[in-house]
Chains A and B, each alone.
Chain A
């Protein structure tokens, strides 16, 4: 039944995974099961939010980022940086040092993504003002939220604003600028520095029939460590000096919570944290909350500052970005010679390439494609729930009793996976002790029931 609709940016290292089930419990779409003592991903449920990555105690989760060596393939190597990147460095590190270090790493052009947010604000305000658009208009900024809506809230897909994200706008802009200067398009490589997994998925498998202008996605955590080391060692490459642009406050804060909603006219709300978003969308879907014009929804707590590839604490990141924003504001006022580059010189071209070509399609998770069969399965699931204990302990390898019941009707699990059912079966001589033991081993792996002093928290803890 697994139907991988698209590329996933999250992968599990089976060697590292200890089958602790933390991820299974954290997953907001119940996409993870434990089989043979290892976490496995149901790809049609996964929305690439990265909650699993966040809770994994042994770093078994990783993202499918691109190797920085890919940069070498291009003559013009453009790095586009999200503003949260600058929030990772201590206060004494300057914008110049960061840019120089990036050039030392091989990038020929280093730009901030959010320079063109005014174009996006204009577009979103136009959509919100249009009486024909579905309300509330939901921001398309966070790709994990777009995917969440496709999977869990299919009736709201038409509410998602059909415009591209700031990173795509920036890529279009710098690509166009270079080709206007006479550079052959195939010589330009645009690299996005990502704070999360969902953005990797969005670049590799965009929604709405959109072709990504990005050539590679570099892990922000990885790049931060490289850049910071170069700065620490005090040997940035000073051959090329490019003047970093100063972003306006609203551009710097765009990726933070209330970065969009604040600038959208009408009744606008911002919600961060995927579980908070789910709770709210349940109300929106049944029209229990009405008359909202715009929703800014972000999967991570503190929005992109809380991205899984952000090395610094999210609250400190927010504090630093606010500090940068205030500083820039002052500089832009007192020092007129600091030219803020905005995307205005290409606004006509950018506006022509702002809209998604196709509508975003729902990807509901159904029990069966045949509705009659699905109804039968649902009835059976409800019957099974009469027997299962309802404590969602996860010992069966599924996150909830309901998830186990669903797996059973889809022939992916058996009732005997439930340890409560095992006791019942043993009592009625329908299951031998040995068999029950084997079932546990099948879910949690062999050796799982043996003493092991090297596990986390045990006396010889060793990772």
Chain B
């Protein structure tokens, strides 16, 4: 089952739309609650990353009986050093963003903790592509 969403950079108010939609669907098809939780936490973090850093982005989600595959692509500054960005606490967020409760430098590490497969590719000044997979069987 395919789901597609568009994201506007800077729109924190509406961040989380995709994750709350997917959460509802996953509950109705009977995925185990803890797996839903991991999936939506990772997806929400990835959504907020786009809102916080990029100009705009898109989400493509494939929900299959055995796994959920999520691809988030954005047009934005990109990540210069992905290994560094994967470290807990590393953040480039502005004080304003931090004040809103975002930008603690836990985004990518949190995504990694909550997904089974994570692939981040990026080109500076062009954009970032985050590909995540969560298996739905315990």
Chain A residues proximal to chain B, CB less than 8 Å: 152, 154-155, 157, 282, 285-288, 362, 364-369, 371-372, 374-375, 378-379, 382, 406
Contact = CB atoms under 8 A, between A and B. Distances in A.
A333 B40 CA distance: 53
Contacts of B40: 285-286
Contacts of A382: 1
B33 A154 contact: yes
Contacts of A287: 41, 44
B138 to A, nearest CB: 12
Interface of B: 1, 16, 19-20, 23, 25, 27-31, 33-34, 36-37, 40-41, 44, 63-65, 136
A63 B15 CA distance: 42
B16 A378 contact: no
A282 B17 CA distance: 11
A180 B109 CA distance: 58
Contact of B30 (A152, A286, A367, A379): A367
Contacts of A282: 20
Contacts of A371: 29-31, 65, 136
Given A362-B33, A366-B30, A367-B29, A375 B65 contact: yes
Given A154-B33, A378-B1, A286 B20 contact: yes
Contact of A367 (B19, B28, B36, B64): B28
Q: Is the interface of B mostly helix, strand, loop or mixed?
A: helix
Contacts of B41: 286-287
Contacts of A152: 27
Contact of A375 (B20, B23, B29, B33): B29
A219 to B, nearest CB: 35
15 contacts: A154-B27, A155-B34, A155-B37, A285-B40, A286-B20, A286-B41, A286-B44, A287-B41, A369-B30, A371-B29, A371-B31, A371-B65, A374-B28, A378-B25, A378-B29
B30 A374 contact: yes
- Residue from A152, A287, A362, A374 whose CB has the most chain B CB atoms within 10 Å: A287
Given A282-B20, A286-B19, 20 more contacts: A152-B27, A154-B33, A154-B36, A155-B33, A285-B23, A285-B37, A286-B16, A286-B44, A287-B44, A288-B44, A364-B27, A364-B30, A366-B27, A371-B30, A372-B65, A374-B28, A375-B1, A375-B29, A375-B63, A382-B1
B44 A379 contact: no
Nearest to B63: A375
B51 to A, nearest CB: 12
Given A371-B29, A374-B28, A379 B1 contact: yes
A364 B33 contact: yes
A291 to B, nearest CB: 10
Nearest to B104: A290
7 closest A-B pairs by beta carbon, nearest first, are A155-B33, A366-B30, A154-B33, A374-B29, A155-B37, A286-B40, A286-B44
Q: Is the interface of A mostly helix, strand, loop or mixed?
A: helix
A365 B136 CA distance: 18
A286 B28 contact: no
A372 B1 CA distance: 11
A287 B28 CA distance: 20
A195 B77 CA distance: 58
A157 B34 CA distance: 11
Contacts of A368: 30
Contacts of B63: 375
A251 B30 CA distance: 41
- Residue from A152, A285, A362 whose CB has the most chain B CB atoms within 10 Å: A285
Contacts of B23: 285-286
Contacts of A378: 1, 25, 28-29
Contacts of B1: 375, 378-379, 382
A282 B30 CA distance: 18
A141 to B, nearest CB: 22
A288 B29 contact: no
Contacts of B25: 378
Contacts of A375: 1, 29, 63-65
Contacts of B36: 154-155
B136 to A, nearest CB: 8
Contacts of B28: 365-367, 374, 378, 406
A372 B30 CA distance: 10
A364 B64 CA distance: 19
Contact of B29 (A155, A285, A366): A366
A374 B136 CA distance: 14
A350 B31 CA distance: 39
A378 B44 CA distance: 22
Contacts of B30: 364, 366-369, 371, 374
